Amino acid sequence: MADLVFEAVQDADGGYCAECLTENIFTQGDTWEELRSNVIEATSAFFFDQAKPERIRLHLVRDEILSVA
């Protein structure tokens, strides 16, 4: 497995959540740096007895609502 892709979103309280698109891995962090660390830790734990992916991609999704008035 070459890449593992996570979709990351910013919570309303300012923290971040990340969910893997292909495996059952989910984690969160109060800051972007903490999220990055937690994604690596969660991935290592998930693949503890298997070959780990070469890279992890974090895809930040931003949902913004604009008023047209």
Q: Which CATH architecture has domain 3-61?
A: 2-Layer Sandwich (3.30)
Average pLDDT along the chain: 93
Closest CA to 58 of 13, 14, 34: 34
Report the predicted TM-score, pTM, of the whole model to 2 decimal places: 0.85
- What are 18-36's pLDDT values in tens digits? 999 999 999 999 999 999 9
Distance CA 34, CA 11 (A): 14
What is residue 50's predicted lDDT score, i.e. its pLDDT? 92
The C-alpha R_g of the chain, in whole angstroms, comes to 14
Residue 41 CB coordination number (10 Å): 11
For residue 45, how many other CB atoms are within 10 A of its CB? 10
User: What is the pLDDT at residue 46?
Assistant: 96
Q: What pLDDT score does 1 carry?
A: 64
Which pLDDT belongs to residue 2? 82
